[in-house]
Amino acid sequence: MIRCILIVMCTLCLHTLSGQASPKRLIQEVNRKFAAVKDYSAVLNMRFDIPSVRMEPVQGKVFYKQPDKFRIRAEGILFMPRQNPYFTLQSIRDTNAYTAIFAGEEVIAGARAAVVNVIPYDAGGELILARLWIDASKKLILKSQLTTKSNGTIGVEYVYGTAQNFALPDKMIFSIDVARFKIPKAVAVDINSKTNVQKSPPKGTGTIELFFSAYKLNQQLSDEVFRAE
Amino acid sequence: MLKLLHAELLKIVVKPRSYIGFAAITVIVLLIEFALWLDGQSYLQFILQTLEQSFDVQGNILNGNLVAFIILQTLIVQMPLLVALISGDLVSGEAAMGTIRLLLTKPFTRGEILWAKFFAASIYVFLLILWLGLLALGIGLLVFGPGDLTVLKSDELIIVRAGDTLWRFFAAFGIAFLSLSVVSAFSLMLSCFTDNSIGPIITAMAVIILFTIIGTLEVPLFDLIKPFLFTTHMIVWRNVFEHPLDWPLIRNSSAILLLHIAVFLSVAFYYFKRKDIYN
């Protein structure tokens, strides 16, 4: 009887260990692809669909340098996610800083993806929980859902093309929770206008689409590029 | 006719009250610009606080275009009062002083005299708007620099790209001119009815204030009245900054404003041509 219980327990332990090691190995393979990119620049087109904000698409240039330097140069006003677009990859770089658990499989945009939950050990960090949908065959993150301390839940979808060998997407779609925008009429000096209460729900989701093109990789970008003007 | 217009303009120029409008605009615009230059960032922080919880808002938001827009929002509501101060006095002021009888002995028809007065008032309105534009947009761009315009509304923001703003400001000033011409025609009409100069000015101001209050209050009963008030259509200049543009609304409101001018002037001409002059 005792022998039977021991065998069952050992099997369970082995299963758990293999379950933990496997998603981390998958993440490491994704990281390895992205690690080949020391820096890059690309043309960036941005489209915004934010509740209570009407604005036209903007074109600019984007610069990135390992480990976490990121800058967009564009003329005019932009609404960007508070974290840089590679926050997901930065958060999972140190595989010893979190535990990763398999949470099944799903089909994302026609591709089978392993669902991996990432729970950081450091409870005081910005990231509380990350859920990643990883294409195991291509070693690419197809979708991520980050629960952050300061920004709530941020969803990111990735579409790959020319630079997929470096885990660089051609398109990123950010979905961000947005509270209803409301300011007193006296502050906006918006008298005589009719308030449209039905138009805006108390909370909505803002979408920012980033289209990357003309990637130039590993040009040894200087730090000057990332300095604020 | 040109002689008459020249004479009417001269009358406006020599009246000290003609400069109240220019002085008021100068003080208000410079005050707003100074306040925004000093503390504009906190004003913007208050406006953007909800969005900044979710987004990193990048770019120079506090720029000359935004400052000019805020000034227009604040001032265009008050400007009709400054216009009424001048055009409400054009006929009744002369009747009160007794100079209207002398004017009517000149070899001009009553219609020509009234046209000259209306054109003189329109030139005054044009100069007032030009002065506002120079101070608001000119100094605004000089001090705060160019940039995308953030159109502030109580429940949304519209970002208009910098290259797309200048023509909108010109269109807004054009509609403002049309709106103030309605006020000018209205007070000129009132001016034809009385022989004292204060009555039409006060009446015109009272009507504008009343209509503005009705337009501001969100009471269902007033919603039925609002489309018939000229003050409702006077604020259509703001729609020029919408994206996408609601051209039918702008055209419709502009046509209604023109119709108001035509009606007020027709009544004024009808009454003035038949008016008995006692003073």
Cross-chain Cβ contact B56/A183 below 8 Å: no
Structural domain span for residue A7:
2-226
Do you know the residue count of chain B?
Answer: 279
The mean pLDDT value of chain B amounts to 88
CB-based contact (8 Å) between A1 and chain B? no
Domain ranges in chain B are 2-274
User: What's phi and psi for B241, nearest 5 deg?
Assistant: -95, 10
A72 pLDDT higher than 60: yes
A92 pLDDT higher than 70: yes
Higher-confidence residue: A205 or A6? A205
Q: Cis link prior to A184 (omega < 30° from 0)?
A: no
A9 pLDDT higher than 70: no
Nearest Cβ partner for B154 among A54, A177, A183 = A183
Among A131-135, A156-160, A172-176, B2-6, name the one with the lowest average pLDDT.
B2-6
Q: Cis link prior to B200 (omega < 30° from 0)?
A: no
For residue B231 the two structure tokens come to 């003050």
Are A188 and B69 a contacting pair, CB within 8 Å? no
- The residue to which tokens 């020391």 are assigned: A38
Domain holding A8: CATH number?
2.50.20
Higher-confidence residue: B68 or A123? B68
Cross-chain Cβ contact B154/A195 below 8 Å: yes
The question of ipTM being above 0.95 is answered as: no
CB-based contact (8 Å) between A32 and chain B? no
Which residues are within 8 A (CB) of B128 and not within 5 positions of it... i.e. 6 or more apart? B21, B22, B25, B79, B82, B83, B180
What's the CA gap between B182 and B188, in Å, rounded? 10
**Which residues in chain B (156-185) have CB-CB distances under 8 A to chain A?**
156-159, 161-162
Cross-chain Cβ contact A183/B152 below 8 Å: yes
**% of chain B residues with pLDDT over 90:** 43
B48 pLDDT higher than 90: no
Nearest Cβ partner for B54 among A151, A195, A200 = A151
What distances in angstroms separate CA B270 from CA A12, B121, B174, one per listed residue? 101, 19, 28
Give the DSSP letter of residue B238: G
pLDDT for position B177: 93
A187 pLDDT higher than 80: no
Shortest CA distance from B71: residue in chain A: A189
Which positions in chain A touch B68 (Cβ < 8 Å)? none
pLDDT for position A195: 56
pLDDT for position A20: 42
Cross-chain Cβ contact B243/A56 below 8 Å: yes
pLDDT for position A200: 55
pLDDT digits (tens, 9 = 90+) for A31-49: 888 888 889 999 999 999 9
Contacts across the A-B interface (CB distance below 8 Å) = 127
For residue A19 the two structure tokens come to 């379950």
B218 pLDDT higher than 60: yes
Cross-chain Cβ contact A54/B152 below 8 Å: no
pLDDT band of A2, cuts 50, 70, 90: low
- The residue to which tokens 């005299």 are assigned: B113
> E strands along chain A, which residues?
39-49, 53-55, 58-65, 69-74, 78-81, 98-108, 111-120, 127-135, 140-148, 152-160, 169-179, 203-217
Q: What is the mean pLDDT of residues B160-164?
A: 90
Mutate to test the interface with A, among B150, B154, B179, B214 (most CBs of A within 10 A): B154
pLDDT digits (tens, 9 = 90+) for B72-124: 988 877 888 889 888 888 888 888 877 877 887 878 888 899 999 999 999 99
What's the CA gap between A212 and A208, in Å, rounded? 13
Per-residue exposure over B93-106, b if at least 16 CB sit within 10 Å of its own CB, e if not = bbbbeeebeebeee
Higher-confidence residue: B129 or B216? B129
pLDDT band of B217, cuts 50, 70, 90: confident
pLDDT digits (tens, 9 = 90+) for B190-205: 998 888 878 888 998 8
pTM over 0.95, yes/no = no
Which positions in chain B touch A226 (Cβ < 8 Å)? none
pLDDT for position A15: 46
pLDDT digits (tens, 9 = 90+) for B242-258: 888 889 999 999 999 99
A13 pLDDT higher than 50: no
pLDDT for position B176: 92
Shortest CA distance from A53: residue in chain B: B157
Shortest CA distance from A54: residue in chain B: B158
Among A173-182, B94-103, B172-181, B255-264, name the one with the lowest average pLDDT.
B94-103
What's the structural domain count of chain A? 1
Which positions in chain B touch A87 (Cβ < 8 Å)? none
